[in-house]
């Protein structure tokens, strides 16, 4: 039996659990939902079960236990064999599951734990003549199973987006990313459009780049660059290495993830989500589909805010990034300010209405910031949504934001290309100005006298933003042009 992937054995950490190990909670307090996923071709079987919770520190679908001498994955397989009739002994199996506890009637879990293993069950599946036979052979206990069906990976992604599966940020931040890596990059799915690598002529960077570029020419405006990025990611080398080693012979196993990346890009998905990163203001930010991919045009906002910090010679400066997304603005501002104005004592806040986006921002702060600290808060603009959090400050010296400002209909059209950016990050209501209005209104009473506000918008709502800022009593209102010469960044000063 070959275990090919165990997400957690190396990552188990008692702190990830909110119920102490060994403590037992009963069904009236929590529902335990267990998802067992079994792969069939490019689909997964998802089952959901409800049980009392038993905490043993290992995966236990029905509160079983790990026997002496057993490893956790062996226990998981044995219990699955007992539960659903699969006998994986001596068979490679592929297998992934997670479970979470949800307080009755409450959507967000107040306790959660997940585990995952992937085993290769391909030969097990081959033992059955058809999918139907395979299903029939699973011996689910009907009163335990809430739902069992095959789902595509896209369905799984949407379950996740709807909060019905794996609020992973509360336990193990990289779970979703690692899952995708396991599913796509390790080629657990047979790739529909992947060439038979063994027949690929001369597996070299040059040939792969050309092949990828051709595949992407219809959907991407930068097929050459995309293909090059995917090769660098696949081989873990930088661009200059790839360009200077065009004829390097490559082994099929080294390049499988390249084909997955090309496939994903062909659906329109952003390059940054596929690689999981985006460069902004000289830093590399982790990104996933919960956050807008940082745009180089927003670097102007960082420059202007840092410039404004130059007005302060000493003392404490309070700044806030509203609608922080990946955290690219606040993190870049602070890194730059530490370098240029080391004497300044900056107290920084950053808010977002999306907890998933905040998880990404926190992760970026943890990897990119050095001594800078940021208070991340779950807020509707400035207003905390989580009452247990510390109160927010009542005044700031500098407020800045790149809020959602695209008219709803336009945003819907934009997203049809499959890029995968969150609607929440774009949708500014019918005229695109809803967020600009709320932000300005709330900011007008929170900015100190002489304080500055910076709002990034589309060129089509810059004039609206200028008028609005003047209406709310801001002076010296001015719009600055971005790299492309478009009026995108509006500043006002509180009188
Ligand atoms: C255009 S994105 C900007 C992200 C990031 N600041 C950047 O420049 O890349 C807008 C962000 O606003 C967040 N957002 C939307 N409505 C919000 C609200 N009412 N309060 C706080 N954040 C909100 C979205 O979740 C999204 O992360």
**Contact by Cβ (8 Å): 352, 379:** yes
Same domain for 333 and 228 = no
| C-alpha pair distances (Å), 460 with each of 54, 265, 299, 482 | 56, 30, 19, 13
Placement of tokens 């060129």 in the chain: 459
Same domain for 299 and 438 = yes
Q: 451: CA distance to ligand 1 center in Å?
A: 22
Atom in ligand 1 nearest the alpha carbon of residue 438: 19
Q: 293: CA distance to ligand 1 center in Å?
A: 11
**pLDDT given at position 75:** 53
* CA gap 306, 397 in Å, rounded: 12
**pLDDT given at position 187:** 35
Same domain for 448 and 470 = yes
State the CATH number of the domain containing residue 162: 3.90.79
**pLDDT given at position 202:** 76
Task: Choose one of 151, 185, 219: the last residue of a domain.
Answer: 185
Task: Choose one of 185, 211, 245: the last residue of a domain.
Answer: 185
- Find the helix or strand (DSSP H, E) in which 280 lies: strand 277-280
Does 298 sit in the ligand 1 pocket, CB within 6 Å?
yes
Does 93 sit in the ligand 1 pocket, CB within 6 Å?
no
* CB-CB neighbours of 23 under 10 Å: 10
* CA gap 357, 323 in Å, rounded: 9
**pLDDT given at position 6:** 26
Same domain for 233 and 281 = no
Same domain for 215 and 151 = no
Does 326 sit in the ligand 1 pocket, CB within 6 Å?
yes
**Contact by Cβ (8 Å): 274, 287:** no
Q: What is the dihedral of CA 335, 339, 341, 346, to 10 degrees?
A: 30
What ranges in 195-285 are assigned the alpha helix state H?
A: 205-216, 223-235, 239-244, 252-266, 271-275
- Residue 81 included in any domain: yes
* CA gap 113, 53 in Å, rounded: 11
**pLDDT given at position 99:** 38
Same domain for 373 and 251 = no
Same domain for 308 and 457 = yes
State the CATH number of the domain containing residue 363: 3.40.50.150
- Residue 247 included in any domain: yes
* Total domains, the chain: 3
Does 294 sit in the ligand 1 pocket, CB within 6 Å?
yes
Same domain for 473 and 413 = yes
Does 325 sit in the ligand 1 pocket, CB within 6 Å?
yes
**pLDDT given at position 390:** 66
- Residue 191 included in any domain: no
- Residue 192 included in any domain: no
Same domain for 332 and 407 = yes
Phi and psi angles of residue 45, each rounded to the nearest 5 degrees, phi first = -85, 125
Range of the domain at 329: 275-494
Atom in ligand 1 nearest the alpha carbon of residue 291: 27
**pLDDT given at position 74:** 52
**pLDDT given at position 389:** 64
Q: 425: CA distance to ligand 1 center in Å?
A: 5
By most ligand atoms within 8 Å of CB, the mutation choice from 403, 414, 436 for ligand 1 is: 403
- Residue 190 included in any domain: no
Task: Choose one of 218, 233, 267: the last residue of a domain.
Answer: 267
Q: Which two tokens stand for residue 395?
A: 């005044």
**pLDDT given at position 226:** 97
Same domain for 332 and 367 = yes
pLDDT in tens, the chain (495 residues): 112 222 222 223 333 333 333 343 333 333 333 333 343 344 344 433 333 222 222 233 333 344 555 544 455 555 555 544 444 333 333 333 333 333 334 333 322 333 333 323 333 333 334 444 544 444 433 333 333 334 444 554 555 555 444 332 333 334 444 444 444 443 333 344 555 565 566 789 998 999 899 989 989 999 999 999 999 999 999 999 999 999 998 877 678 778 878 888 888 889 999 898 999 999 999 998 889 999 999 999 999 999 999 999 878 999 999 999 999 999 999 999 999 999 999 999 999 999 889 989 998 999 999 999 999 999 999 999 876 566 799 999 999 999 999 999 999 999 988 888 999 999 999 999 999 999 999 999 999 999 999 999 999 999 999 999 999 999 999 999 998 899 999 999 998
Atom in ligand 1 nearest the alpha carbon of residue 426: 1
* CB-CB neighbours of 106 under 10 Å: 9
Atom in ligand 1 nearest the alpha carbon of residue 401: 6
Q: 480: CA distance to ligand 1 center in Å?
A: 21
């Amino acid at each position: 039996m070959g275990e090919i992937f165990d997400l957690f054995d190396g990552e188990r950490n008692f702190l990830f659990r909110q119920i102490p190990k060994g403590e037992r909670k009963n069904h009236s307090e929590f529902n335990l939902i267990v998802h067992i996923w079994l792969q069939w071709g490019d689909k997964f079987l998802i089952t959901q079960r409800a049980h009392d919770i038993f905490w043993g520190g290992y995966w236990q679908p029905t509160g079983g236990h790990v026997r002496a001498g057993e490893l956790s994955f062996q226990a998981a397989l044995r219990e699955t064999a007992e539960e659903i009739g699969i006998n994986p002994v001596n068979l490679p199996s592929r297998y992934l599951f997670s479970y979470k506890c949800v307080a009755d009637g409450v959507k967000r879990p107040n306790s959660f734990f997940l585990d995952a293993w992937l085993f290769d069950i391909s030969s097990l599946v081959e033992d059955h003549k058809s999918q139907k036979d395979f299903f029939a052979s699973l011996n689910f206990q009907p009163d335990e199973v809430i739902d069992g069906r095959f789902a595509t990976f896209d369905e799984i992604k949407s379950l996740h987006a709807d909060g019905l599966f794996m609020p992973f940020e509360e336990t193990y931040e990289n779970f979703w990313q690692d899952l995708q890596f396991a599913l796509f990059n390790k080629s657990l799915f047979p790739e529909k459009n992947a060439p038979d690598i063994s027949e690929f002529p001369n597996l070299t960077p040059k040939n792969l780049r050309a092949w990828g570029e051709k595949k992407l020419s219809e959907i991407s405006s930068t097929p050459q660059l995309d293909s090059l990025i995917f090769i660098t990611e696949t081989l873990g080398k930088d661009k200059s290495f790839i360009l200077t080693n065009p004829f390097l012979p490559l082994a099929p196993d080294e390049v499988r993830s390249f084909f997955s990346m090309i496939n994903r890009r062909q659906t329109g998905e952003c390059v940054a989500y596929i690689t999981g990163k985006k460069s902004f203001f000289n830093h590399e930010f982790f990104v996933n589909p919960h956050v807008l991919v940082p745009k180089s045009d927003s670097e102007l906002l960082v420059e202007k805010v840092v410039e404004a910090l130059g007005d302060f010679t000493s003392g404490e400066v309070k700044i806030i990034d509203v609608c922080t997304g990946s955290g690219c603005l606040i993190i870049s501002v602070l890194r730059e300010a530490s370098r240029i104005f080391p004497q300044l004592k900056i107290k920084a806040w950053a808010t977002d209405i999306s907890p998933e986006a905040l998880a990404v921002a926190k992760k970026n702060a943890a990897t990119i910031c050095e001594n800078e600290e940021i208070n991340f808060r779950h807020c509707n603009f400035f207003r905390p949504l989580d009452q247990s959090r510390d109160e927010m400050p009542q005044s700031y010296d500098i407020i800045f934001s790149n809020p959602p400002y695209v008219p709803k209909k336009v945003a819907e059209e934009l997203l049809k290309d499959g890029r995968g950016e969150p609607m929440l990050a774009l949708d500014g209501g019918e005229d695109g100005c809803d967020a600009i209005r709320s932000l300005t209104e709330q900011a007008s009473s929170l900015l100190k006298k002489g304080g500055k506000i910076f709002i990034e918008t589309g060129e089509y709502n810059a004039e609206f933003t200028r008028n609005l800022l003047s209406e709310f009593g801001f002076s010296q209102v001015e719009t600055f042009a971005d790299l492309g010469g478009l009026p995108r960044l509006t500043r006002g000063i509180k009188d």
